[in-house]
Amino acid sequence: MRRRLPFAAILIALILIVATFPMRLALAMAGAEGSGLTAREVNGSVWAGELIEARLGALPLGNVKARLSPLALLGGDVELAFNRPDPRLGELAGRLHGSDPRGLSALSGTTSLSGGLGLVPVDSLRFEGAEVRFDERGRCTKASGRVQLTVGTSIAGLDLSRGLIGTLRCVEGRAETALTSQSGMERLILSFDGSGAYRAEFAITADDPVMASALTAIGFRAGNNGFVLVSSGRF
């Protein structure tokens, strides 16, 4: 019994150290920035932290509550559970994985997209149980869940405020989602790799000569799938 007391005391001390370890230092030590996670300010401990004006690449997360997995930290990895209970911006929750395979899982909620998708004026993204993971070479290893993309402005008179919806999957080493509008006349294929390099192909079926002319005027080109606008860049 006496021999167990020192071990129990050491175990309790370790638990207390981990429980009160600053979130800011833990994220820095685990290389969270390499996973695309940044924040203007990080407060609290690994059990109950807060990230102020957090971003994940081009996705602004806002102010989020966060908790790191101590077991993952002991292995030098990042596994961050976060949530944003913000009625103004909308709820957002998920898990960030900084190890191989890295990426996101259990992602649900809404976020805006800074700068859109280049020439495609995307306003916001909504996720439903989304997961996307990449290996150390940046190749997609797992992708699932639903994505809804909203275009903030009308395009050639088209109202796309109801958004385009699709599911995530891995295609030839890239994460991809093929999104369609309710009418099926508008389609967007978005693919990206682990480095955040994306390609977006936005196609609109237009039989009306006036609409066809309007689409051509803003950069769309006639193709087999209708009028197509291709944009690429990095999140």
pLDDT at 173: 94
Cβ(122)–Cβ(151) below 8 Å: yes
pLDDT at 130: 96
Three-state SS at 157: coil
Which tokens is 164 given? 């385009």
pLDDT tens column, 35-58:
678 889 988 888 888 889 888 877
pLDDT tens column, 191-233:
999 888 999 999 988 878 888 888 888 888 888 878 898 988 8
Residue given tokens 């193709």 in the structure block: 223
pLDDT tens column, 12-30:
444 444 556 778 877 776 6
Mean pLDDT of 90-100: 85
Q: Where are the domains of the chain?
A: 20-99, 102-235
For the chain, give the longest Cα–Cα distance. Answer: 89
31 pLDDT higher than 80: no
Which tokens is 205 given? 């079926």
Strand bridging mode 122-134 / 102-112: antiparallel
**Cα–Cα dist 200/190, whole Å:** 5
73 pLDDT higher than 90: no
Mean pLDDT of 170-193: 92
pLDDT at 191: 95
pLDDT tens column, 104-152:
899 999 988 767 787 787 888 899 999 999 998 989 999 999 999 888 6
Q: How confident is the model at residue 34 (pLDDT cuts 50, 70, 90)?
A: low
The contacts of residue 138 (CB under 8 Å, 6+ apart) are 193, 194, 195
Amino acid at 214: A
**Cα–Cα dist 147/166, whole Å:** 5
11 pLDDT higher than 70: no
